[in-house]
Amino acid sequence: MMNEDAHILVVDDDIGIQRALQRSLSAYGYQVSTVSTGEEALEEIARKRPDLVLLDLGLPGMSGLEVCEKIRTGSNLPIIVLSIKNSEQDKVRALDLGADDYVSKPFGINEVLARVRVALRHATQRYSETEQVVKAGSLTIDFTKRKVLVDGRDIKLTPTEYELLAALVQHSGKIMTRHMLLSQVWGNGYEADAHYLHVYVAHLRQKIEPDPAHPCFILTIPGVGYRFNSEF
């Protein structure tokens, strides 16, 4: 998707942030709409069908978390949440509800642009476990054969290690919270057992990373979770 084809909806009750984002994003070729409330955001999404939403969590009336949840009930529309730095719990909750990424306020426009580009790119590259072979640097994942190769060598993963890697790769570029990964890989009832995740991530890094001490594929998002990086 080219920049000039992408329509971004900015949802923030701070008029200064609205104007700054509209000016900066428009300068890079994006079409930009702005609204100040969650109710207006849902109406705008239904009416204009934007390609991506920049969503402030601290909205008047309907909260950003509620907006995120309502969007996700029927859409895979990319959502990047905007939040103040000390609202870690809200950021994690938004990601658990289906947001793709977050940017902490105050932010630089270059950071926002980078996150927007990644989210739009991955919106058109959703990986399907039944038909895709994914390559990232030295790593190849063949979902049809459930095979993982590093530099052409077959890597033996346990079923749990494979499911963890598959969950990360299929949401490449998107932050996966600890809760999301534990739920998806281990199932209900394990959401609080973060030690399972730490152990398996460490094992997986030992098997697929060129330098496990400085991972390039499975990136840690401190206090939140992990993100698979395919940008090489």
Domain contains 128: no
Same domain, 146 and 43: no
Of the ranges 79-88, 101-110, 119-128, 186-195, the best mean pLDDT one:
101-110
Same domain, 110 and 142: no
Supply the CATH number for residue 160's domain.
Answer: 1.10.10.10
pLDDT class for 73, splitting at 50, 70, 90? confident
Same domain, 110 and 34: yes
Same domain, 36 and 119: yes
Tell me how many domains the chain contains: 2
Domain contains 206: yes
Same domain, 177 and 208: yes
Q: Residue 222 class from Cβ within 10 Å (0-12 exposed, 13-18 middle, 19+ buried)? A: exposed
Domain contains 59: yes
Handedness of CA 87, 92, 97, 102 (dihedral sign): positive
pLDDT for residue 60 is more than 60: yes
- Nearest 5°: CA angle at 128, between 127 and 130? 150
Same domain, 161 and 80: no
pTM of the model: 0.73
Where does a domain end: 123, 157, 180? 123
Instruction: Write out the residue range of the structural domain in which residue 199 sits.
Output: 133-228
pLDDT value, residue 2:
47
Query: Quick one: which of 118, 113, 119 has its CA closest to 28?
Result: 113
Domain contains 8: yes
pLDDT class for 127, splitting at 50, 70, 90? very low
pLDDT class for 152, splitting at 50, 70, 90? very high
